Amino acid sequence: MHMKQKKWRYALALTACAGLAQAAERPLEVVAETHDAIWNAVAVDDLDNVYVAGPRWTGMKGPSVSRLDANRLPQAFPDARWNSTDNSIPVSERFVNVNALHRDDQGQMWIVDAGVSDFGGHVIPGAAKLVVVDLRTGKTTKVITFDSDVIRDGSYVDDIRFSGDHAYLTDAGVPGIIVLDLKNDSMRRVLDTSPAVKAPADRDIVLSGKVVRAPNGEALRVNSDPLETSHDGKWLYFAALEGPWYRIETRWLNDPKLSPAVLAEKVEFWRDLPPVGGTALDKQGDFYFSDLATDTVKRIRPSGKIETVVSDPSLHWVDAPTFDQEGRLYLPAAQVDRVALFNEGVSRVQWPLRVYRFDLDK
């Protein structure tokens, strides 16, 4: 990397957007930038350390998962071995294609490795896994490999959320939800036959006026992808990337005795949202989501009112927002639709790629 590419800075970006009266004209702060990686995931610990990650199928270089140092330079996390591309290291002991980071309320980082050979490719045996790291020590405490019972050919385990002693994950490749019992690390695959987890055939993902297309030229379809749990743990909200959104009470998901047919009947329609990159909840119960088509972050108040929080062309494909302890919102502008894979082999990424921070209280 050239020296000029190593200059990490804080800067202000234009945030005014004509006609969006709800969008506050506040600065977007540049937390980090890169000329090498597609960071689609970000997490922050109690000490305001920032972690970033992205899948290798995007063409990214450098570590799959990094912690930003004092100079905002990415350092392999939890260590260099986990981030190695050395094929002599078992796939159960190194990252293959990381898709998500999520910090739990126990001070642990959960790293979701889809374990696929490439986008739309096969799951490499033993590679699809959850890697749990203690943020206090930086040490890996657990690796949970997905059972063959829950992973299908073409699966792409996408993201994770928690409620009590259970975790829930979406499969964006083969539509379904994975329920993980945290007491014994057992897992079940559910809702396979529900229309709620399948990308609708008549809803395209459109950014900058252009339909996002898969490598085969067909309009990209992404099955069960974004998800969120309510603060009280009662509800799991989920959707295909294209929408619409559904919800189900977690008590039904947690009950292994329910038949697939009965469980499917418990799913409720929630909201008809546009294509969403990622979501986050604040301490007040506001539901934040990135509206991909408009380069906008919006929120749904507990009252049900939808508001625009910030809109800016630089917020292109915000994938997985998160909050820090001070309530500031971190926004990785991943530009996923611009990677070569979705543009006939030619990258359209506008470098540098950036992670922004937005202070809602300013």
Give the pLDDT score at 24.
Answer: 45
Q: Which long-range contacts (CB under 8 A, 24 or more apart) does 331-336 make?
A: 331/28, 331/42, 331/290, 331/297, 331/355, 331/356, 331/357, 331/358, 332/39, 332/40, 332/41, 332/42, 332/52, 332/356, 334/38, 334/39, 334/40, 334/54, 334/277, 335/38, 336/38, 336/40, 336/58, 336/277
Region 157-166 average pLDDT: 98
Would you give the end-to-end CA distance of the chain in angstroms? 35
Q: Is there a domain that residue 151 lies in?
A: yes
Cα–chain center distance at 71 = 25
In this structure, what CATH number is given to the domain that contains residue 297?
A: 2.120.10.30
Cα torsion angle, 317, 42, 142, 94, sign: positive
Q: Is there a domain that residue 17 lies in?
A: no
Question: How many angstroms separate the CA atoms of 202 and 143, rounded?
Answer: 38
Residue type, 264: A
Q: Is there a domain that residue 9 lies in?
A: no
- Does residue 12 have a pLDDT over 80? no
Region 190-194 average pLDDT: 96
260: tokens are 């697939």
Other C-beta atoms within 10 Å of 265: how many?
Answer: 13
Question: How many angstroms separate the CA atoms of 351 and 71, rounded?
Answer: 19
- DSSP letter at 186 equals E
Give the pLDDT score at 127.
Answer: 98
Residue 103: name the closest of 111, 95, 114 by CA.
111
- The residue assigned the tokens 């994950």 is 169
- Write the pLDDT tens digit of every residue in 312-353: 999 999 999 999 999 999 999 999 999 999 999 999 999 999
Q: Is there a domain that residue 7 lies in?
A: no
> Domain containing 310: what range?
26-358
For all residues of the chain together, what is the average pLDDT? 92
- How many structural domains comprise the chain? 1
Q: Is there a domain that residue 229 lies in?
A: yes
- What residues form DSSP beta bridges with 183? none
Q: Is there a domain that residue 20 lies in?
A: no
Region 217-224 average pLDDT: 98
- The residue assigned the tokens 């934040």 is 288
Q: Is there a domain that residue 13 lies in?
A: no
Give the pLDDT score at 329.
Answer: 98
- Write the pLDDT tens digit of every residue in 116-137: 999 999 999 999 999 999 999 9
- Write the pLDDT tens digit of every residue in 33-92: 999 999 999 999 999 999 999 999 999 999 999 999 999 999 999 999 999 999 999 999
pLDDT band for 21, please (50, 70, 90 cuts). very low
- The residue assigned the tokens 């408009």 is 294
Give the pLDDT score at 361.
Answer: 81
- Does residue 10 have a pLDDT over 50? no
Region 198-215 average pLDDT: 97
Cα torsion angle, 247, 251, 256, 258, sign: negative
Q: Is there a domain that residue 181 lies in?
A: yes
